Amino acid sequence: MTADVLLHLDNGVLVVAMNRPAKKNALTAQMYSALADALAEADRRDDVRVVLLHGEGGNFTSGNDLGLFVNGQATEHPEAPAATFLRAVIALRKPMVACVCGHAVGIGATVLLHCDYVVASDDARIRFPFVDLGLCPEFASTLLLQQVVGRNKATEWLLLAATIPAAEAHRAGLINRVLPLETVAAEALSVARCLATKPRQALMATRGLVREATAALVRDSLQRETVVFDTLRRSPEAQEIFRRFLQRAPVRTAGGQGAATQFEVL
């Protein structure tokens, strides 16, 4: 376990906190591994009935640490560092609640599609920045997002990659409830504790049945996205975007038509 991921058991709720606030909880390879281990342990343990995922320091997560996307990292990480986390989330049989404050970007946005209940603060901002980074979406989000918010809205969010206020995400159905910042953590824990009091077998069986119809589609979508994502990640276009971001330089389009989005939330 790394200090960048904190665990706490509270009345059957395993509270999993991303704890890298200086980097807006950008996820490293070590954090992905620790998160995957925590979810696998939660699935095994009888004293854990629900998982509550949140971020420390005022943000949920700004997504993948872009340093992991640079081609030189491929030798050190032959498999995408996020892969074990993705598999652990999909394999989890117990409910997962998300408490979203501040920025939820990239995988911080797509993981919400795999949660059973999402509570967000009114300052929460969600973003699917993949196209602007020279990438395609991941975590089966090209399938799940349109199931949740409809094809037109999903296409808008994925292609334009604009920041989505919590209120809009709530209206579209991605978020269950939006509350003031000072009350959101308590509400998320309350929901998780409520789920933890339900009959365990009935809770897990019902959750499983809800997800069963799309389980194979999710796996297929994830596999296709992974192949395309890795191809795009290695492309000169994406690598130039990553280098410019890591140098905090303006990102320019291939045609040289001025500066594109600065990714200031990362």
Model confidence at 265, pLDDT cuts 50, 70, 90, reads very low
**How do the domains of the chain map onto residue ranges?**
5-184+194-200
Residues 203-233: b if buried by 16+ CB within 10 A, e if exposed: bbeebeeeeeeeeeebeebbeebbeebeebb
pLDDT at 250: 55
* pLDDT reported for residue 72: 64
Q: Tens digit of pLDDT for each residue in 246-257?
A: 998 655 544 443
pLDDT at 13: 98
Q: Which residue has the higher pLDDT, 78 or 66?
A: 66
Helix and strand tally (H, E) in the chain?
A: 9, 9
pLDDT mean over 52-77 = 85
Contact 101/107 with Cβ under 8 angstroms? Answer: no
| Residue whose token pair is 């971020």 | 55
215 pLDDT higher than 50: yes
Query: Residue 60 half-sphere exposure, CB side, CA atoms within 13 Å?
Result: 32
pLDDT for position 260: 40
Lowest mean pLDDT among 57-61, 71-75, 122-126, 189-193: 71-75
Q: What is the pLDDT of residue 77?
A: 52
Beta strands in 65-134 (DSSP E): 96-100, 103-105, 117-121, 125-127
How much is the pLDDT for 75?
46
**What CATH class is the domain 5-184+194-200?**
alpha beta
pTM: 0.92
Mean of pLDDT values over 156-178: 98
Q: Are 265 and 125 in contact (CB under 8 A)?
A: yes
State the alpha helices, DSSP H only, in 95-140: 107-110
What's the whole-number average pLDDT of the chain? 92
